[in-house]
């Protein structure tokens, strides 16, 4: 780490991570910073961003992280985030689209239009906007890595989170399309597809021990994942180690999709 030519060295790199004040996003920001990157922490609430920044900087022992709050549902806010990153650092090497929402739990037949639209806007269209905003400067420099956090839900049907899963399947296709478009310029685009991870978003599935047991029974490891267990794949995809990897979706799910 920090040595020139090392496989996972991110020294001098700049990363923007959405939804990074907690959960998987924060774990990714922390690990990218630990490997040498400057990271822009972003989520809706400024105080939550500042707390995460302080935590990351204390852990890595340098001013690696800065905060820039943004609501992913606002194109103007995302433009502000992209502009902030480019003005502050002059470039963005890695974009991690992690923020997402799921305001509905139940069958597709009962979902309201506004709920379906919100899921598609926040989980697909906002990712597309950020890629549009930060991809061209990667293309111009001939290098860059875009990492979209999808879900193994995008590989499966569900009786209760169908719309969310549709959006996550679309994230994988967004990554494939952009990998095709920007690959010739040296820009790589991939998805990480977590299984059940112990985050606030998934709290309903792990708060109750009985529900947790049911939720993990179908996986090889028979346990819930931790946010930090997703972060290593992001380090790989952002670093020289992942230089030949693009257009792919990686399931990190304790073996849930293997069963």
Residue with tokens 């049907």: 157
CA separation for the pair 87, 89 (Å, rounded): 6
Residue 164 annotated among the catalytic residues of the structure: yes
Q: Is 226 domain-assigned?
A: no
Q: Is 238 domain-assigned?
A: yes
With contact defined as beta carbons under 8 Å apart, do 216 and 224 qualify? yes
Give me the mean pLDDT over the 250-258 stretch: 98
Q: CB neighbours of 53 closer than 8 A, spacing ≥ 6? A: 41, 65, 66, 67
Dihedrals phi, psi of 127, to nearest 5 degrees? -65, -45
Q: Is 141 domain-assigned?
A: yes
Give me the mean pLDDT over the 236-257 stretch: 98
pLDDT value for 5: 65
pLDDT (tens digit, 9 = 90+) per residue, 5-16?
A: 699 999 999 999
Residue with tokens 């569900």: 158
pLDDT (tens digit, 9 = 90+) per residue, 85-139?
A: 999 999 999 999 999 999 999 999 999 999 999 999 999 999 999 999 999 999 9
Q: Is 3 domain-assigned?
A: no
Residue with tokens 């900087």: 57
Domain that holds residue 250: 14-195+232-254
The number of distinct structural domains making up the chain is 1
pLDDT (tens digit, 9 = 90+) per residue, 47-66?
A: 999 999 999 999 999 999 99
Alpha-helical regions (H) of the chain: 23-34, 46-60, 75-89, 113-120, 126-141, 162-182, 203-206, 209-217, 228-238
pLDDT value for 205: 83
With contact defined as beta carbons under 8 Å apart, do 144 and 94 qualify? yes
Q: Is 250 domain-assigned?
A: yes
What CATH number is associated with residue 85? 3.40.50.720
Q: Is 81 domain-assigned?
A: yes
Q: Is 52 domain-assigned?
A: yes
Helix (H) or strand (E) holding 251: strand 249-252
CA atoms within 13 A on the CB side of 152: 16
pLDDT (tens digit, 9 = 90+) per residue, 151-193?
A: 999 999 999 999 999 999 999 999 999 999 999 999 999 999 9
Question: In the chain, what are the helix, strand and coil shares in percent, each to the nearest 5?
Answer: 50, 15, 35
Q: Is 207 domain-assigned?
A: no
Catalytic-role residue among 84, 104, 129, 164: 164
């Amino acid at each position: 780490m920090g040595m020139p030519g090392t496989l996972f060295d991110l020294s001098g790199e700049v990363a923007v991570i959405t939804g990074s004040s907690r959960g998987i996003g924060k774990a990714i920001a922390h690990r990218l910073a630990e490997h040498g990157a400057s990271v822009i922490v972003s989520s809706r609430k400024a105080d939550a961003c500042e707390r995460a920044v302080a935590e990351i900087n204390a852990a890595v022992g340098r001013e690696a992280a800065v905060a820039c709050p943004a609501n992913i549902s606002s194109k103007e806010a995302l433009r502000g985030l992209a502009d902030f990153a480019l003005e502050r650092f002059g470039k963005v090497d890695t974009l991690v689209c992690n923020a997402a929402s799921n305001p509905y739990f139940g069958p597709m037949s009962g979902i309201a239009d506004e709920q379906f639209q919100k899921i598609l806007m926040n989980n697909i269209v906002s990712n597309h906007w950020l890629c549009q905003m930060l991809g061209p400067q990667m293309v111009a420099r001939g290098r860059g890595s875009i990492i979209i956090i999808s879900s193994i839900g995008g590989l499966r049907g569900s009786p209760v989170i169908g719309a969310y899963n549709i959006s996550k399947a679309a994230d994988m296709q967004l990554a494939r399309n952009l990998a095709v478009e920007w690959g010739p310029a040296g820009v790589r685009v991939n998805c990480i597809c977590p299984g059940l991870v112990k985050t606030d978003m998934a709290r309903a599935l792990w708060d109750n021990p009985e529900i947790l047991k049911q939720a993990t029974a179908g996986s090889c490891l028979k346990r819930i994942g931790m946010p930090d267990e997703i972060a290593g794949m992001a380090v790989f995809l952002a670093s020289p180690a992942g230089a030949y990897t693009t257009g792919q979706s990686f399931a990190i799910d304790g073996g849930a999709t293997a069963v």
